[in-house]
Structure 1
Amino acid sequence: MKKRLMVPDLGGARAMILHRPHATVQALTRQLLAIGLAVSEHWPDLPAVALGADYVFFDADMGHDGQFPWAPGEAPMPMIALIGSEAPGRIEWALKQGADAQILKPVGDNGVFSALLIARQGFEARRASAAEIAGLRQRLAERQTVVRAVTLLATRGRTEEEAFAQLRQLAMAWRETIEQAAARVVARHAATGDGDVRHELS
């Protein structure tokens, strides 16, 4: 069964428009207000309070690095590019900023609602993927730490099986996970050059 698109409640959401004064801004503002969003217009930079916005619309034609209070691609909300020029360099720049949707200029009397939904869906999917990748990297790092700890413990004439058994014993004694115990063994070795922590079991 396909998962249905969750339509967010847009009433009261805050949208910021980063665009020079123009008819595009007026048309966009009319649609956003009709949908129920609070709107503010800014140029040439977004203020720090933009960090609390729910959506940001930005001019892809005259936009440049440094206009946002965050690093490129790290916006904490959905970003919607307002595109008039389809020059590859401008499209590439908009994508670099993390555009989740786009609206072609000139902006007419519709298209904003669908752009809001697409941007929100794209933003959430991108954020979920980033969290999953971060989790996988963390798990990989923890596994590498366990392997490193077992290797250090095995240098004392133990087999890898015996070293892993000792690591498990350490984890139980310290009331930690095996990964946490492994990190402690590795940290001790880095600090003292000694991976033998048996005396710490007393």
Structure 2
Amino acid sequence: MRRGVRIQNLGGARAVILHRPHPVVQALTRQLAAIGLQVSSCWPELEPGALAADFVFFDADMGHDGQFPWKAGDPPMPMIALIGSEAPGRIEWSLQAGAHAQLLKPIGDSGAYSALLIARSAFDAHRALSAEIADLRQRIEARQTVVQAVARLAARGKDESAAYAQLRQLAMAWRISIEEAASRIVAGREGPDDRRDHR
């Protein structure tokens, strides 16, 4: 069964076009305004207010490294590449810059709406995946910390299961999670009383 995709109402969204003055900008502005977007354009750098934009269209033909005020490939909004040259190097650069969709030049009377929706969907999927990866990394690090804490407690003359039980007792006594208690132990932030009482 196919999962439905929720089509967003784009009216009122803000788009910035990073492109040198050109008929491409005029044609794209007409399309976006007809959809209901607020549009501004700039070149050769993004205007300061662009960080609040909902979408950025950028010239993949004349674009260059360092043109965006964020880490390459990690834009804070959906990015749409405006591509005139399908040279592999230019396409590769636009992908590295963080393009979520593309619109081929010359720009006519259509194409912007689907590019907006595709870019939004790809951006949301990328954000969700990044959050999932960050969560998994955090959980793996927390598990490693628990193992280190158990090893440190076991070094005081206990077997592993007794050391883990002691870690649980400490977490309950401190009213924090096992992972937080493990982090305290690994960092050596147990108080002297804690060490004496839980040997």
Amino acid at match of 1:199: R
- Corresponding position of 2:126: 126
Query: 1:48-80 deviations in whole A, cap 9, x for unaligned?
Result: 311100000000000011221212112110000
**Equivalences, count:** 198
User: 1:152·1:195 contact (CA, 8 Å) conserved in 2?
Assistant: no
1:8 maps to what in 2? 8
How far apart are the structure 2 equivalents of 1:148 and 1:154?
A: 10
- Deviations for 1:13-51, whole angstroms, at most 9, x for unmatched residues? 000000000111111000000000000000000023111
Moved over 4 A (4+): 194-197
Partner of residue 195, structure 2: 198
Aligned to 1:183: 183
| Separation in structure 2 between the aligned mates of residue 163 and residue 68 of structure 1, nearest angstrom | 51
CA shift at 1:200, angstroms? Answer: 6.5
Q: Tell me, which stretches of 5 or more residues in structure 1 are unaligned?
A: none
The equivalent residue for 1:164 is: 164
CA deviations on 1:141-172 (whole Å, 9 max, x unpaired) are 00000000000000011000010000000000
**Residue 196 of structure 1, CA deviation:** 9.6
Give 2:11's aligned amino acid.
G
- Using the aligned pairs only, state the percent identity: 66
Q: CA deviation at 1:115?
A: 0.3
Output the amino acid matched with 1:101. A
**Long gaps (5+) in structure 2:** none
**Structure 2 matches for 1:86-165, cutoff 5 A?**
86-165=86-165
Aligned equivalent of 2:32: 32
Q: Which residue of 1 aligns with 2:78?
A: 78
State the 1:100 CA deviation: 0.3
Could you tell me whether the CA contact under 8 Å between 1:50 and 1:69 is conserved in 2? no
**TM-score, normalization by structure 1:** 0.94
Matches of 1:98 and 1:195, distance apart in 2 = 52
- Whole-Å separation in 1 of the counterparts to 2:74 and 2:19: 20
- CA distance change for structure 1 residues 89 and 200 in 2, over 3 Å: closer, same or farther? farther
Residues 113 and 178 of structure 1, relative CA distance in 2, 3 Å threshold: same
Displacement of 1:199 in angstroms is: 3.0
* Distance (whole Å) between structure 1 residues aligned to residue 194 and residue 160 of structure 2: 16
Contact 1:19–1:25 under 8 Å retained in 2: yes
For the residues of structure 2 that align with 1:188 and 1:38, how far apart are their CA atoms? 55
One-letter amino acid matched to 1:7: I
Partner SS, residue 188 of structure 1? coil
Q: Deviations over 1:159-191 (max 9, x none)?
A: 0001000000000000011000000000117xx
Residue pair 1:13, 1:37 contacting (<8 A) in 2 also:
yes
The one-letter code of the counterpart of 1:139 is R
TM-score in terms of structure 2 length: 0.95
